[in-house]
């Protein structure tokens, strides 16, 4: 665990992306199997320990430390792992090895796990305890993404990172085959006929300078439908439905999978579609994040997919073809196959960028987030290559809301009150919450807001502070929708801070009735 703990600590304080990649490459190069593979799995979020959750760790700490001291320390530090690491009343010099922790937890019965953790915490110094708790809770928060780890692996093995992306979803921890290939000791791993996820191609947002300088005649336009991006992988023997983040969501959409009898890999948008009409995103949300779904829910919220692209036609990989050629293959395949619960995304004809701008203005009425613009000769490339695909999203909605509550952030923000709850006024003059937001401000603004919160706190609820209802923010958001989670009955989708409104009195913030009028 010591080498892993040192890696996490150095990553946390590394000044930039290249420094983090260098640290990861050095770790993967010098550490043995299976330790380096298990560390990679931790970074990838591929490890799960059901019996070792935050509640277990808090309960253990509560037995060894005065509860009031723990609460005060946690409130001051703002990070559970760091609090436990520092306050644990023992100092050991015999920490467990990373494989020992993982293998032991996997073999242990749930009732044995608290005792194991307590023993490991006693055996460890604070730095190793911090790494241990982060590992157990699955929240490393050291500024090292899986993408950075893959770039480090590519440098280590002098390989193309896209090759690693291509095989990644067919691999399992501790990735012995991957490391053997990168070190020239084995063959490149392959997925074979398994229905594995393929890395998706993403678009860059259109910025104002791009509008006039790009030759849009080389591009094809289609709606950016307001659902979730999915990949259908059908081998003829097995079928999977994946989210954009490679999460297998097949079990939640049996109504889609039971109709699939073809052999292809397709890219599309998962939506609720009734009689050919796309429903608002809020209806699709009723089907998301479920391990299974009832027949009644399938009838009430019928799922469908709008197809954007084709990656494999049978066993033939067609990603190297340009978009126009892939589109022709998709159209011919669709005409022959006629897959149930699926339809083609219509291509939109246009004469100029001004035509597209007019279409973009009507996106909200079409249950679309805006427009997708794809070069006709663009191959399907993993990641976000510049210049091939663009997304021109509809302008955000906005409102003025009052800060009600604040909570400390995580990782580098754990010392700041950076997570905020905002409210608007009812007709009776009551503030009711409508959104939580934690992005959109500068470092200078964060310092100001944090200081203001500390000086204007009127109540505390554990790590949450209630503040005077006097600071106004302009919030941007994508849509307003009905919600039972908020007292207001409304939630904002993708809320973010646009600017501080220190010039505006709180009583002039928006009314709940105004927000109701924005519900799509």
Give the residue numbers marked as catalytic.
Answer: 224
User: Is 230 in contact with 268 (CB distance < 8 Å)?
Assistant: yes
**Distance between CA atoms of residues 27 and 40, nearest Å:** 10
**285's tokens:** 């949300």
Residues contacting 40, CB < 8 A, separation 6+: 28, 149, 153, 173, 174, 175
Q: Which residues pair with 342 in a beta bridge?
A: 305
**Distance between CA atoms of residues 23 and 144, nearest Å:** 10
472: exposed, middle or buried (Cβ count in 10 Å: 0-12, 13-18, 19+): buried
Q: Which residues pair with 481 in a beta bridge?
A: 491
The long-range contacts involving 113-117, CB below 8 angstroms and separated by at least 24 positions, are 113/49, 113/51, 113/52, 113/56, 114/56, 114/59, 114/60, 117/52, 117/56, 117/57, 117/60
The DSSP secondary-structure symbol of 383 reads: B
DSSP per-residue string spanning 69-96: HHHHHHHHH--HHHHHHHH-S---S-PP
Only one residue has tokens 């919450």, namely 433
Cβ neighbours around 177 below 10 Å, total = 19
Q: Which residues pair with 235 in a beta bridge?
A: 263
Q: Checking DSSP bridges between strand 397-408 and strand 219-225, what pairing results, if any? A: unpaired
């Amino acid at each position: 665990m010591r080498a892993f703990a040192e890696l996490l600590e150095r990553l946390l304080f590394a000044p930039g992306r290249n420094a983090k990649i260098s640290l990861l490459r050095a770790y993967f190069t010098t550490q043995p199997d299976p330790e380096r593979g298990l560390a990679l799995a931790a970074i990838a979020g591929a490890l799960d320990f059901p019996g070792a959750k935050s509640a277990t760790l808090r309960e253990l700490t509560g037995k060894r430390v005065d509860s009031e001291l723990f609460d005060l320390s946690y409130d001051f530090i703002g990070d559970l792992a760091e609090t436990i690491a520092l306050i644990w009343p023992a100092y050991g010099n015999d920490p467990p090895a990373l494989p020992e922790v993982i293998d032991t937890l996997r073999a242990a019965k749930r009732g044995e796990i608290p005792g194991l953790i307590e023993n490991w915490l006693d055996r460890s110094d604070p730095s190793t305890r911090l790494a241990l708790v982060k590992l157990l809770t699955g929240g490393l928060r050291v500024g090292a993404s899986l993408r950075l780890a893959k770039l480090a692996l590519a440098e280590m093995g002098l390989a193309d990172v896209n090759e690693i992306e291509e095989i990644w979803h067919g691999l399992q921890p501790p990735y012995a085959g991957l490391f053997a290939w990168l070190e020239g000791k084995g063959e490149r791993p392959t997925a074979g006929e398994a229905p594995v996820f393929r890395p998706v191609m993403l678009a860059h947002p259109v910025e104002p300078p791009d509008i006039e300088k790009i030759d849009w005649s080389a591009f094809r336009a289609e709606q950016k439908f307001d659902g979730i991006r999915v990949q259908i992988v059908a081998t003829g023997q097995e079928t999977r439905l994946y989210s954009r983040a490679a999460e297998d969501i097949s079990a939640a959409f049996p109504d889609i999978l039971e109709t699939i009898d073809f052999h292809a890999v397709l890219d599309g948008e998962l939506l609720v579609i009734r009689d050919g009409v796309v429903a608002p995103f809020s209806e699709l949300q009723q089907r998301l994040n479920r391990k299974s779904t009832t027949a009644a829910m399938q009838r009430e919220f019928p799922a469908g997919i709008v197809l954007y692209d084709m990656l494999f036609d049978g066993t033939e990989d067609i990603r190297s073809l340009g978009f126009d050629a892939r589109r022709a293959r998709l159209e011919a395949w669709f005409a022959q196959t006629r897959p149930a619960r699926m339809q083609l995304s219509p291509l939109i004809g246009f004469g100029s960028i001004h035509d597209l701008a007019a279409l973009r203005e009507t996106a909200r009425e079409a249950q679309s987030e805006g427009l997708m613009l794809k070069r006709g000769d663009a191959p399907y490339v993993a990641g976000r290559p510049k210049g091939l695909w663009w997304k021109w999203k509809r302008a955000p909605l906005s409102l003025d809301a009052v800060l009600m509550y604040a909570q400390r952030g995580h990782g580098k923000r754990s010392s700041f009150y950076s997570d905020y709850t905002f409210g608007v006024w009812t007709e009776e003059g009551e503030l009711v919450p409508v959104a939580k937001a934690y992005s959109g401000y500068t470092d200078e603004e964060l310092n100001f807001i944090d200081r203001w919160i500390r000086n204007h706190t009127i109540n505390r609820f554990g790590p949450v502070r209630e503040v005077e209802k006097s600071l106004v923010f302009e919030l941007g958001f994508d849509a307003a929708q009905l919600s039972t989670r908020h007292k207001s009955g409304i939630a904002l989708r993708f809320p973010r801070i646009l600017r501080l409104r220190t010039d505006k009195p709180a009583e002039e913030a928006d009314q709940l009735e105004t927000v109701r009028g924005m519900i799509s």
